[in-house]
Amino acid sequence: MYYIGIDIGGMSIKGGLVTQDGSILLKKTIVTGVDKKDRDIVLDIAALINDIISEYKIKKEDIKGIGIGSPGSVYDEKGIIRYCCNIPFRNTEIVKILKNELGINNIFVSNDANCACLGETMFGAAKGHKNTILMTLGTGVGTGFIVDGKLLTGFKSAGAEGGHIQINIGGKECGCGKKGHLEAYASAKALMQQIDEACIKNPDSLLNKLKEKEGLDGKIVFEAAKEGCKTAKSVLKKYIKYLGMGLVTLANVFFPEVIIIGGGVSNAGDDLIKPLQRYVSRNIYGSEFNPKIKVMAAELKNDAGIIGAACLAM
């Protein structure tokens, strides 16, 4: 039996044929038609799924289920993508359209961070755990929560917006328009702003030299800090504090067994994870009598979207 996972992004839509144990047998990618009508994008996805099935020479009846991960606001139970920033989904009945087009019934949709959290919990860094927080650091801050083995979605799937927790009264403006949200301090985009500001103030720093040589990218701050650059170390220290505060806030409420960090910034590996682990262990509520929470980098990397989406149907 096979599953299909669809990972919708602003640039491309990836589809994969996934086994029961989370391996990808075949992957295909199409360009996201952001200029098309929402229904036509869904028809593109149906064609992508048909392509995968015919290329692997299996039948529709061999597909046990299909899962779709989408950015934006998704109403899981109704199979609707409510709203998406960069793709013209507006209350798009994606599950209904796909069921009609494909004649396959077991189809589910959820937010992409939810899918990644599910994927990491079933087949990645959090395997074997029943309580997980996943945080992906990209343009924004996405979060997913597994509570007692079940995905948390909130009333009408409106929850799990952990990027929009308030960490600073009257602080920086967030992408959503409100002030002081975690996303404004801890996203990859925020880190780049913090690097940029530090470079302007410290033009002679190694950090600024790396920026001029390699361009503005999150990874240069880790490189420069390793070489002893004080400016980079100071940027990183503050960033870890912001990110750590957000994680501690969420962990004090959920108390997961594992916190998984995904997105490009997590490629820094131990240089990010070790100081974050120290911050969380030191600042978690009741550290003297509560179990320790492990902080880890995501494992599924580029395939997280496809595998995580497929997990929705498992």
Q: Which is nearer to a copy of itself, 215 or 286 (CB)?
A: 286
Q: Which is nearer to a copy of itself, 48 or 248 (CB)?
A: 248
Dihedral of alpha carbons 304, 132, 249, 277, sign: negative
Q: Which is nearer to a copy of itself, 21 or 288 (CB)?
A: 288
The distance of closest approach from Cβ of residue 182 to a copy of itself in the complex, given in angstroms and rounded to an integer, is 9
Q: Cβ–Cβ contacts within 10 Å for residue 217, how many?
A: 16
* Interface positions with a copy of itself (CB under 8 A): 73, 82-83, 130-131, 143, 145, 147-148, 150, 152-162, 164-169, 171, 176, 178, 241-242, 245-246, 248-250, 252-257, 283, 285-286, 289-291, 293
For helices 94-102 and 38-55, give the axis angle rounded to 10 degrees. Answer: 40
The distance of closest approach from Cβ of residue 111 to a copy of itself in the complex, given in angstroms and rounded to an integer, is 12
Q: Which is nearer to a copy of itself, 46 or 240 (CB)?
A: 240
Q: Which is nearer to a copy of itself, 168 or 281 (CB)?
A: 168
C-beta separation of 135 from 245 below 8 A: no
The Cα 258–Cα 277 span in angstroms is: 11
The distance of closest approach from Cβ of residue 150 to a copy of itself in the complex, given in angstroms and rounded to an integer, is 7
The distance of closest approach from Cβ of residue 80 to a copy of itself in the complex, given in angstroms and rounded to an integer, is 11
The distance of closest approach from Cβ of residue 278 to a copy of itself in the complex, given in angstroms and rounded to an integer, is 15
Q: Which is nearer to a copy of itself, 26 or 147 (CB)?
A: 147
The Cα 271–Cα 277 span in angstroms is: 11
The Cα 200–Cα 312 span in angstroms is: 45
Q: By three-state DSSP, how is residue 178 classified?
A: coil
The distance of closest approach from Cβ of residue 20 to a copy of itself in the complex, given in angstroms and rounded to an integer, is 26
**Per-residue b or e along 256-289, where b marks 16 or more CB atoms closer than 10 Å to that residue's CB:** bbbbbbbbebbebeebbbebbbebbeebbeeeee
Token pair 């992004």 is found at: 9
In order of 11, 34, 74, 225, 280, the CA distances from 273 in angstroms are 29, 35, 30, 15, 10
Closest CA to 309 of 89, 48, 57, 86: 48
Q: Strands (DSSP E) along 194-249, which ranges?
A: none
Q: Which is nearer to a copy of itself, 131 or 202 (CB)?
A: 131
The distance of closest approach from Cβ of residue 277 to a copy of itself in the complex, given in angstroms and rounded to an integer, is 16
Dihedral of alpha carbons 101, 105, 111, 117, sign: negative
Q: Which is nearer to a copy of itself, 146 or 221 (CB)?
A: 146
The distance of closest approach from Cβ of residue 88 to a copy of itself in the complex, given in angstroms and rounded to an integer, is 14
